Amino acid sequence: MEAKGKQKTVLFIFDGGVGDAVFSTAAVRRAQYHQPDTNFQVGAWTGEQEEIFRSSGLPVTRLPHLGLFHNRMKQVGEWPAFFKCLVELSVLLHTYDQVICPVGVGSLYHLSRAFKAFIPGDRERFLPMPHPREVIVPDKYMGFVLQDRLDALLGVNSLPYFPPELEFSSEHSETADRMWVETGVDPQRSVVCNFKTSHPTKDLTPFQVEFIVKFIQRHKLLPVIVNYSPADQRLLKEKFSGHGLAFAANDSVLVMGEFLRVARAHVTADTGLAHIAGVVGVPTLTVFGPTGRENWVCPFHKNIISIQAETHCETLACRVGQVCNYPEVYCMSHIDMDEFAEKLHQLFTSSEQTGRGR
């Protein structure tokens, strides 16, 4: 029998990367506002997720087996990981009063089916929630869609949407300062560039990379390229004879957020770091190919401008940046370069008007 006055415990599990984690924090904070007497926690299976959730003040439950299982369901060799994950979450179902999980294009969709098949008695505890990516709402930010879905699942009245919020420590700031010293670049004369993503279909093309670097240099600014492998760095240095290039990287997304905070401007593909840039307020140009900017740019982040490919695939796989059905990355290679130049000029002008680079 349940003890009188026992606090209800709810675990949220979110299926996604850094960007998804950032907007998920707002959804959980909003749920806490609705139900202050409920103990809400979030599950994390990557270090980046855990770092983001903790920086938003949310209690975190580590789920290492989900990391093994994530997006590997179809690989025969991963079946042991699947069953470890199933057992782990079966235990969680009896630890928490409810486990809420968006089920969509990734592994947790299959996991929810497994729970329904193997643990029918726990259906009321395990609450699969339609993932925002499963039904993309035209012209509506995914973070707001997620907050709407949690509202419906929790049976609460709607409130104004919550913005993503992250807290950065002095350690993050000090590490970022050391990184700037190592680059030898004045942050206020820099444009931080993030050309690569976790999905090749969203990466900027070599032509676009060269175009951006030359554009930055013509404006007497210095490109600082982040998250490039040593091999990619060598190739870019050879192309530009090592002239006017700097590189930086750090495993902590919050350190990278502090690194971005003091930069003149930021040019990025559709990455998790683009969401971090929105939070810290650096003027940013985000380049969208297979993903839609209306769905991924947070309306609260007024510092972000964007450019969208004129044409892109309509398949679900392409929308989430996983697979391209063409021999080349069609949408990213069909971005209007005249518009690209206009957006870059707008970015540099706006960053100067806000007092950056003076």
Q: Looking at residue 46, what is its pLDDT?
A: 84
* pTM greater than the 0.95 cutoff: no
User: What CA–CA distance (Å, rounded) separates 184 from 188?
Assistant: 12
Question: Do residues 112 and 118 touch, judged by C-beta distance below 8 A?
Answer: no
Cβ(188)–Cβ(251) below 8 Å: no
Mean pLDDT value across residues 12-32: 87
Segment of 36-50, 73-87, 229-243 carrying the highest mean pLDDT: 36-50
Quote the CA–CA distance of 231 and 6 in Å, as a whole number. Answer: 56
- CATH fold of 9-154 reads Rossmann fold (3.40.50)
What mean pLDDT comes out for the span 147-167?
A: 85
The pLDDT of residue 126 is: 63
337-350 average pLDDT score: 93
Contacts of 345 (CB under 8 A, 6+ apart): none
pLDDT of 166 > 90? The answer is yes
CB 287 within 8 A of CB 265: no
Per-residue pLDDT at 211: 94
Closest by Cα among 16, 43, 36 to 143: 16
Per the CB < 8 A criterion, the answer to whether 193 and 267 are in contact is: yes
Q: What is the mean pLDDT of residues 122-142?
A: 67
Please state the rounded mean pLDDT for residues 260-268.
Answer: 96
Average pLDDT of span 325-333 = 68
CB 327 within 8 A of CB 201: no
Residue 197: left (phi > 0), alpha (psi -120 to 50), or beta? beta
* Three-state SS at 198: coil
Q: Which two tokens stand for residue 307?
A: 């450019």
- Domain-wise residue ranges, the chain: 9-154, 171-353
- Tens digit of pLDDT for each residue in 183-213? 999 999 999 999 988 777 788 988 999 999 9
Contact 250, 269 (CB under 8 A): no
Task: Please check the confidence at residue 254 and state whether its pLDDT lies above 60.
Answer: yes
Question: What pLDDT, on a 0 to 100 scale, did the predictor assign at position 128?
Answer: 64
Strand partners, 129: 102
All residues at 6 or more sequence positions from 1 whose CB lies less than 8 Å from its CB, including other chains:
none
Q: Look at residue 1 and tell me whether its pLDDT is greater than 50.
A: no
Domains 9-154 and 171-353 agree in fold: yes
If one compares 134 and 335, the residue with the highest pLDDT of the two is 335
CB 135 within 8 A of CB 109: no
Q: Give the percent of the chain with pLDDT over 90.
A: 40
> What is the fold of 171-353?
Rossmann fold (3.40.50)
Mean model confidence pLDDT for the chain: 81
Longest C-alpha distance within the chain, in Å?
Answer: 73
Per-residue pLDDT reduced to its tens digit, 270-300: 999 999 999 999 999 999 887 778 888 999 9
* pLDDT at residue 88 tops 80: no
Average pLDDT (31-59) is 91
Task: Please give the average per-residue pLDDT across 28-50, as a whole number.
Answer: 90
133 three-class SS = coil
